[in-house]
Amino acid sequence: MQAGTAPGKDFGKPRRIDADLSLEQPANLSVSPALFQKFQKLIYAETGIWLGSAKTALLCGRLFRRLRALQMDSLESYYECVSAPEADDERARMIDAITTNETRFFREPRQFDFLVQKVIPRWQREAESGVRPRRLRIWSAGCSSGEEPYTIAMLLARHLPAEAGWDVRILATDISNRVLNKAIKGVYPINRLSELPADLLHTFMLRGVAERQGEMKVKVEIQQMITFQRLNLDREADLVEGPFDAIFCRNVLIYFDTASKHRVITNLYGRLMPSGLLFVGHAENLSSMSLQLRCIDPSIYAKTEHKDNSF
């Protein structure tokens, strides 16, 4: 790999929840309403994600590859397999198959602008005045294939560098082993890095040469800022302790029903520092949540118990 090259125009798009339903699916693969409800309840119990009845075709399309890998010819047989108490590994593969992983660097850029223009300067002022240590803990909850935590890491490395005494660590979690394996590698097709500003691209990314031509790799100093971990946001036993200065949980809540969403947000809220911030997706509104949260910018929330009015 070599450093410093101009970005390409687009890199491979992860699948949407309503895309790629064919997957060489045989015409006779189907699921009865009763069987769909069984999968619906199993997936909900495992993840908190509720598949509506309109997702029947999605379920068939996404699970066909698992049937083919296991040499099964029906979803009935697959359900008997995946619902067995000892089938933890296969349930994890099922979740990998049905979950959505659409992401990109600097997705929803307004929030990153807010981070750079408002949040980081506040952290700097607090450190200089002795109000806080030069220590940050950030959680990217639902990190997918890594673009979000790498974006955060690059911005913090640029503005709050280790050379200035800052200790910055990012926890990046997802329920899908498949995307976590990609995130850990930090290697992406070169043809979608137009979302990365040129200065960050040249400073923190490497371009592949020879057999790695056409790839970009995150530099090791950025990778070392991040710990990737499989985690189920809807399962209390999986959750980490914290506390965190900021939690990014963006475009995740839209896949939960009301009960799961409330559990997840309550758990995230409890792991924020008193001055911590919660970033959610632009289509996710927390106004109905009975928590002490105030909206300080679209889709960015602070604890109301904290009296800082700097935002």
Q: What is the CATH number of the domain that holds 77?
A: 1.10.155.10
Per-residue confidence (pLDDT) for residue 206, from 0 to 100? 93
Per-residue confidence (pLDDT) for residue 288, from 0 to 100? 72
Asked if 94 and 122 sit in the same domain, the reply is no
What is the span of the domain harbouring residue 41?
A: 33-98
**Active-site pick, 174, 192, 207, 271:** 174
CATH code at 163? 3.40.50.150
Per-residue confidence (pLDDT) for residue 256, from 0 to 100? 86
Asked if 110 and 180 sit in the same domain, the reply is yes
What is the dihedral sign for C-alpha 286, 298, 151, 116?
Answer: negative
Domain tally for the chain? 2
Residue type, 88: D
Instruction: Give per-10-residue mean pLDDT for the chain (311 aa).
Output: 38 34 49 91 88 85 88 91 92 86 88 96 96 96 95 97 97 93 94 86 89 90 96 84 93 85 90 94 79 88 71 61
**For the sheet containing 300-303, what is the strand order?**
226-230, 167-174, 135-141, 244-249, 272-280, 300-303, 293-297
Domain contains 311? no
Domain contains 7? no
Asked if 138 and 246 sit in the same domain, the reply is yes
- 238 assigned to active site: no
Domain contains 56? yes
Asked if 267 and 290 sit in the same domain, the reply is yes
Asked if 181 and 256 sit in the same domain, the reply is yes
Domain contains 265? yes
- 73 assigned to active site: no
Asked if 149 and 294 sit in the same domain, the reply is yes
Q: Given 98, 116, 151, which residue is the final one in a domain? A: 98
The vertex-192 CA angle with 101 and 256, nearest 5°, equals: 15
Asked if 43 and 146 sit in the same domain, the reply is no
Per-residue confidence (pLDDT) for residue 61, from 0 to 100? 86
